[in-house]
Amino acid sequence: MTKAPVLNTATTGYIARAPRAALMIDMEAYFDAAMEAMKAARHTVHLLNWAFEADTHFHPQPGGDGPRSDRIGDFLKALAERPGLEVRVLCWYSVMPVAATQRFFPFMDRLAFHGSKVKFVLDGHLPLGACHHQKMIVIDDAIGFCGGGDIGPDRWDTPQHLDDDPRRVKTRRDNKDFDSRHEVMGLVDGDAARALGAVFRDRWQAATGETLHPAPPVPEPAWPSDIPPAFHDITVGLSRTRSPWASRNELRENEALHVAAIRAATTCIYMENQYFTAPLIAEELAARLREPDGPEVVLITTQHSPSYFDQMTMDRTRLVFLKMLKDADLHNRFVAYSPVTTLGRTIIVHAKLTIIDDTLMRIGSCNINNRSMGYDTECDMSFEAFGPGAEANRAEITRLRDTLLTHWLGCPKPSVQQAVAEFGGVGRALEALRLSGYCRLRPIPIERLNPLERFVADNHLGDPIGQYDAWWPWRRRRALAERRRALSSL
């Protein structure tokens, strides 16, 4: 258990209590819960996303298709016809090379919502090269979803990550399966949901100039029937990233929270993330690994990124991140794995999740790279087990961690719990279970970089610290030094 609450005004923009909170592992559960919650909306349905594809099915059928009423675009247009219900969608006005990888969603969405009552906005009010990356759905300011999942046909998957699942077929492209994909989303109500509503309204005002008012209170939030609350009366924090733009100040709450949480850990730092490239985070983890009695560090990430650009930039820089931790692992407390399906195919780890001991669980949009810490717009949601009900909430954090490990290994949960107890830690338990035959987690090899790859990694090309070095990579080392000084007093 950490010594004191990590969520505070330095690490968190909003701190609230949630009467109920839950975690959804992978997008099947999220799409089901979101559809049910939005059907019960009375005043507002607000969506923020990096990518949004209007023809995404909530329940894809074999062959990847289904009825039009099951497509989120048609579903939202029907909702918007209800008297008194306002539906808004805000997603990133992405640059053309990125849009091309997502079937040109900004232009297709404009066509999909043209002439409807859905208020659809593309958010381009950002510094050149930055992106809007927050992911949430807020209903009536009473129910809120936040995490790492965007809305697109390639996002849908189940926790089984089945090989050749006919519901993941790319019917409109090359008729091959979408890769298996891992996401994590959180669900809250009460004051925490109202805080998510405030984040949406702030982003909407920045993108449109329109000031929205909070939704009127609803007597009883429509909690999705298939999602049992995991936490009761728990502290929730919302941490943001934002570049300074126009009259808006810079926010680096996500960076501060990561650093504070790593420093506060006593037994285990468990992280799932798409990217591990941020040198400041690597340095903090390495410092804890050098301590004789420090926490173990367990990282789960994708074997290799889907896009060529990310393979040349993020994947190469990740090798430097991992080597720093390997060299610092003086006491055998560090492991890093990539997951595969039963047949050994890559599972894309798109979740952004951190669990610190049994006290703090964090999910959201923030990658462990430079731009997520200070250049893009991000929002993470954290659950911290302090105050009333702390003991039950700590037990639930441990249970959710074990559920994730079970999901990765494909073994019974009692096997995970027994191994953690027997071997005295998560990393040693994972390795023991792998060697016993549960081999869906594979160690990530630390390969040598050629001169070009070393240049890319050393200069963090494509991964700026902030506006100061965004288009001037030769400034990056100075930007890093300034961030080290700023975080030293955290």
Quick one: angle between helices 451-459 and 316-328, nearest 10? 80
Query: Which range is least confidently modeled, 15-19, 97-101, 279-283, 295-299?
Result: 97-101
Per-residue pLDDT of 203-238, as tens digits, reads 999 999 999 999 999 988 889 999 999 999 999 999
pLDDT score recorded for residue 156: 93
- Choose among 296, 240, 247, 289: nearest CA to 268: 296
Q: Is the pLDDT at 109 greater than 60, yes or no?
A: yes
Per-residue pLDDT of 307-338, as tens digits, reads 777 878 888 899 999 999 999 999 999 999 99
Element (H, E) at 106: helix 105-113
Per-residue pLDDT of 87-99, as tens digits, reads 999 998 876 566 5
pLDDT score recorded for residue 98: 67
The residues near 415 (Cβ < 8 Å, ≥ 6 apart) are: 406, 409, 433, 438
Q: Which residue has the higher pLDDT, 102 or 85?
A: 85
pTM of the complete model: 0.95
- Choose among 53, 3, 59: nearest CA to 172: 53
14-231, which class in CATH? alpha beta
Instruction: Give dist(CA 134, CA 149) in Å, integer.
Output: 9
Q: Is the pLDDT at 192 greater than 90, yes or no?
A: yes
Instruction: Give dist(CA 127, CA 129) in Å, integer.
Output: 6
**Any idea what the Cα angle at residue 39 is, between residues 37 and 45, rounded to 5°?**
75
Q: How confident is the model at residue 100 (pLDDT cuts 50, 70, 90)?
A: low
According to the CATH classification, is domain 259-367+384-488 in 3.30.870?
yes
pLDDT score recorded for residue 107: 75
Q: Is the pLDDT at 198 greater than 90, yes or no?
A: yes
Instruction: Kindly tell me the number of DSSP H helices and DSSP E strands found in the chain.
Output: 15, 18
What does the domain layout of the chain look like in residue ranges? 14-231, 259-367+384-488
pLDDT score recorded for residue 176: 62
Computed from CA positions of residues 234, 219, 187, 134, in that sequence, does the dihedral angle turn out positive or negative? negative
Element (H, E) at 144: strand 143-147
Per-residue pLDDT of 223-280, as tens digits, reads 999 999 999 999 999 999 999 988 889 999 999 999 999 999 999 999 999 999 999 9
pLDDT score recorded for residue 364: 97
The label of the residue with tokens 């609350």 reads 229
Q: What is the DSSP string of 332-382?
A: S-EEEEEEB-TTS-BEEE---EEEETTTEEEEES--BSHHHHHTSBEEEEE
Q: Is the pLDDT at 395 greater than 80, yes or no?
A: yes
Q: Is the pLDDT at 387 greater than 50, yes or no?
A: yes
pLDDT score recorded for residue 249: 93
Instruction: Give dist(CA 5, CA 132) in Å, integer.
Output: 29
